[in-house]
Homo-oligomer: A and B are copies of this chain.
Amino acid sequence: MFSEIRKRVKKIGKAPGTPTYTGEQRTKPPVVTVINYSLSDFYETSNTDIETCFAPDVIRKGTTWVNIEGLNDVELIKALTKRYNIHPLTVEDILNVEQRPKVEEFKNYLFITLKVLIKQEHAFTTKQVSFILGNNFLLSFQELDTTLFDNIRIKLRSKTNQTLRKEGPDYLMYRLIDTIVDDYFATLEVLGDEIEEIEENIIANPTSQSARTIYKIKREMLLVRKAIWPMRELLSHLAHAENNRISKFTMIYLRDVYDHTVQAIDSLETFREMLSSMLDVYLSSITNRMNEIMKTLTIITTIFIPITALASIYGMNFHYIPGLDWRFGYIAVLGSMGLIAFCMMLYFKYKKWI
């Protein structure tokens, strides 16, 4: 949450369209994978050098998918996007990894940027993935090398998945977005488990740490929501807007991903309401606990304080205290004390404190 703004600040003062990578620095060079496929053919080239990937003998007819893992080599990105005639602002947005998920239409392509949720060291972080969808090509830019797209790549290689090979880059992009949205549900499951755990904890045995745990989960949810929430608008735009870059065939599928996103947001909202209700339960339970503590204190004190007072009176050293030399004085006083205690008990019983 904070890191994002700090990264944003790096860019202040730079001219718009200046490509600046705002993510974490990494030593590993980015990997470019060029996949060229049609219903009949499939070629795949993977290299860290872009010249090799686009050697004259590599580019063929059909759909071209260029995937880049790692954005730390600005020159490479510039070279690639120049080849496809991409607007400088788009290049800037790809490299500025603190972008809000959005879709932008340009004359010759559609630009989409969104977030992948990654669990790193017991905390979620978001990593950016951007897509550029052209007439016969799809460029995808991943901030981090994940295994998310491996599945699609495997399916592309095999000839059996007819649809994927037959349809154009719009369907491929849909499949990649679908994979990312499906992955959100894995994140929601982790959150759901955490919430279920704290729920049990708060119902059965609230500790002084419970409020902090609720806060921790809320904070995580804010991050997740920031990633998922704009997806709704983004996918609604993709699935309903009029543009000739996405086929009717793919649009039906995009509507499906849209539905999933709405479902994910619904779950987040439900989680949120549950957490805030839990906090109420927690607060009432610690107040109840205090009531119980106070009751114990009050009962013990109000029984023994009058007894002590009475005993102290008969412990005074006055020469003339009536009853001190009475044979049954001691018994009488003890009896009075018992009576006081008994009356107090009755009072507490009546008040339903015991």
Contacts and interface: CB of A to CB of B under 8 A. Distances in A.
Interface string A158-181: 000100100000000011001100
10 contacts: A1-B270, A1-B274, A13-B179, A218-B273, A279-B280, A283-B284, A290-B290, A300-B305, A311-B316, A312-B315
A139 to B, nearest CB: 19
A290 B256 CA distance: 52
B293 A9 contact: no
Interface in A287-326: 287-298, 300-302, 304-309, 311-326
Interface in A134-192: 151, 155, 161, 164, 174-175, 178-179, 182-183, 185-186, 188-189, 192
Contacts of A318: 314, 323-326, 329-330, 333
Interface string A212-251: 1011001100100010000000000000000000000000
B12 A186 contact: yes
Chain A interface size, under 10 / 10 to 19 / 20 to 34 / 35 or more? 35 or more
Contact of A324 (B174, B195, B317, B351): B317
B192 A1 contact: yes
Chain B CB within 10 Å, residue with most, of A195, A253, A255, A301: A301
A16 interface: yes
Nearest to A262: B100
Contacts of A16: 174-175, 178, 253, 256
B289 A89 contact: no
